[in-house]
């Protein structure tokens, strides 16, 4: 409830835009609230962690610059409420507000049963196809540019196809830009890969997997067979995450870090199980809109 009240700050910051007309005010509100939501500016997960506060602030600034040209025809001042709210969050809210974020609220740790959601799953497949085709068209220039740079810098192959585990334990080939070289039986990340991986641009070819039906826009991470075997043998309830298709982004991906140990993998699986149980279009939208925050946090941590 408190998080929702904080969004009044964005509304108050946009009120002066009424002098430029109702259209400018609505545009400013939409822009400011969208950035605050995407960068999780008012959530306990951000307020309770200084590193996440910095990621949210930097991300908000970058998003303001990127979205500004879209709203520029409405008014040159529409970006000001978003910038103002970002500054207030960083200099005032994060200094005064106290929050002890509990990961358990985003996880499923009990042995709950999972009910089928036939209507949702069927409609989601249609949404995946439509949005997948749109994304394929929108990102085709980026894909072409990255492919040409990869060809010039790293040579062939440009793309790789990795074996991953999907819905109902079925294997499929997941497409990615190649970001590793194998030299002397040792994999080393390429120069281009150091740029693509933190931004997750190496995953753009997975749009093809979404259109084909191997993956969805939102779902658990598509795992390598070795991680799948580790989970099946050591984590209770792990198989339940395979009731849905893996996703390009997902609840665990936006709320938890990249896992390197079995205990971390148990925690991440609990996030996945939460998604499987409570999956809905509302939860999917939250995952999609909050993915930019996860990307900025990865960049800040310099993780791959």
> How far is it, in rounded angstroms, from Cα 140 to Cα 128?
17
59 and 9 assigned to the same domain: yes
* Residue at a domain's end among 43, 78, 96: 96
> How far is it, in rounded angstroms, from Cα 172 to Cα 222?
10
CA distances 300 to 83, 88, 127, Å, are 20, 21, 32
275 and 234 assigned to the same domain: yes
87 and 108 assigned to the same domain: no
Return per-residue pLDDT of the chain as tens, 304 residues.
456 788 888 999 999 999 888 989 999 999 999 999 999 999 999 999 999 999 999 999 999 999 888 888 888 899 999 999 999 999 999 999 888 788 888 999 777 788 889 899 999 999 999 999 999 999 999 999 999 999 998 888 999 999 999 999 999 999 999 988 876 667 788 888 888 888 889 999 999 999 999 999 999 999 999 999 999 999 988 999 999 999 999 999 999 988 888 999 999 999 999 999 999 999 999 999 999 999 999 888 865 5
Q: Count the domains in the chain.
A: 2
Q: How close are the terminal C-alpha atoms of the chain, in Å?
A: 34
159 and 282 assigned to the same domain: yes
115 and 35 assigned to the same domain: no
58 and 205 assigned to the same domain: no
123 and 224 assigned to the same domain: yes
Three-class SS state of 216: strand
For residues 55 and 290, the answer to whether their CB atoms sit within 8 Å is: no
179 and 238 assigned to the same domain: yes
153 and 279 assigned to the same domain: yes
* Residue at a domain's end among 96, 125, 145: 96
* Residue at a domain's end among 80, 96, 112: 96
| pLDDT tens, position by position, 207-224 | 999 999 999 999 999 999
86 and 144 assigned to the same domain: no
72 and 187 assigned to the same domain: no
Cα torsion angle, 97, 12, 26, 17, sign = negative
73 and 113 assigned to the same domain: no
Domain residues for the domain of 208 are: 104-301
> How far is it, in rounded angstroms, from Cα 154 to Cα 136?
24
Q: State the pLDDT at residue 185.
A: 67
> How far is it, in rounded angstroms, from Cα 38 to Cα 84?
16
């Amino acid at each position: 409830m408190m998080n929702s009240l904080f969004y009044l700050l964005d509304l108050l910051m946009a009120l002066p835009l009424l002098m430029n007309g109702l259209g400018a005010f609505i545009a400013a509100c939409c822009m400011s609230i969208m950035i605050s939501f995407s960068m999780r500016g008012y959530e306990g997960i951000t307020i309770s962690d200084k590193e996440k506060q910095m990621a949210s602030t930097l991300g908000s600034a970058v998003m303001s610059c990127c979205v500004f040209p879209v709203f520029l025809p409405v008014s040159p001042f529409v970006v000001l409420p978003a910038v103002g709210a970002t500054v207030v969050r960083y200099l005032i809210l994060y200094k005064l507000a106290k929050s002890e974020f509990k990961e358990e609220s985003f996880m499923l740790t009990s042995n709950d049963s999972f009910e089928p959601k036939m209507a949702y799953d069927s409609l989601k497949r249609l949404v995946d196809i439509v949005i997948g085709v749109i994304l394929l068209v929108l990102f085709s220039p980026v894909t072409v540019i990255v492919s040409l740079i990869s060809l010039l810098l790293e040579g062939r192959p440009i793309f790789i196809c990795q074996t991953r585990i999907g819905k109902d334990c079925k294997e499929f080939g997941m497409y990615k830009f190649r970001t590793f070289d194998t030299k002397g039986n040792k994999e080393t990340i390429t120069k281009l890969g150091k740029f693509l991986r933190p931004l997750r641009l190496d995953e753009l070819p997975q749009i093809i997997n979404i259109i084909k039906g191997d993956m969805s826009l939102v779902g658990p991470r598509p795992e390598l067979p070795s991680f799948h075997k580790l989970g099946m043998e050591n984590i209770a309830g792990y198989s339940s995450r395979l009731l849905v298709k893996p996703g390009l982004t997902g609840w665990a991906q936006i709320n938890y870090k990249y896992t390197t140990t079995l205990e971390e993998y148990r925690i991440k699986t609990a996030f996945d199980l939460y998604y499987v149980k409570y999956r809905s279009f509302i939860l999917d939208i939250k995952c999609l809109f909050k993915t930019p925050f996860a990307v900025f946090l990865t960049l800040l941590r310099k993780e791959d």
